[in-house]
Amino acid sequence: MILRQILRLSSLFHSTVSIHLRRNIGFSAIVFNKTKELDPVQKLFLDKIREYNTKSKQAGGPVDAGPDFQKDMNESLARLQRAYGEGDLTKFPEFKFE
């Protein structure tokens, strides 16, 4: 009986330690990757993400979105307002608990 409990606790300890080790190894891989030079594909990907981020901040919304996108967005918002009631659907709702 005691041997079973010891084996059960050791397997639980083993699984817990292995999960933490996997997480730490994964995190350390990210940290070490930032310290060394990125490969060209990763660098290109990060450069494009940063470029899109600056463009979207300047445009104040989606980049290179034409009038069709705005029309579809307005139609979708109107349909959602009809289905779920009034209010601004582009903002997260505020909850008030009394």
> So where are the chain's domains?
7-59
Q: What is the pLDDT of residues 56-86, one digit of tens each?
A: 888 877 778 888 988 998 898 888 888 887 7
Q: Please, how many CA atoms are within 13 Å of residue 53, restricted to the half-sphere of its CB?
A: 6
> What does the buried/exposed string (b/e) look like for 28-60 if buried means 16 or more CB atoms within 10 Å of the residue's CB?
eeeeeeeeeeeeeeeeeeeeeeeeeeeeeeeee
Each residue's pLDDT tens digit, 12-57: 666 665 676 566 666 566 666 654 677 888 889 989 999 999 988 8
Greater confidence, 31 or 92? Answer: 92
- Cα-based distances in Å from 18 to 80, 81, 86: 46, 49, 51
Position 51 scores a pLDDT of 92
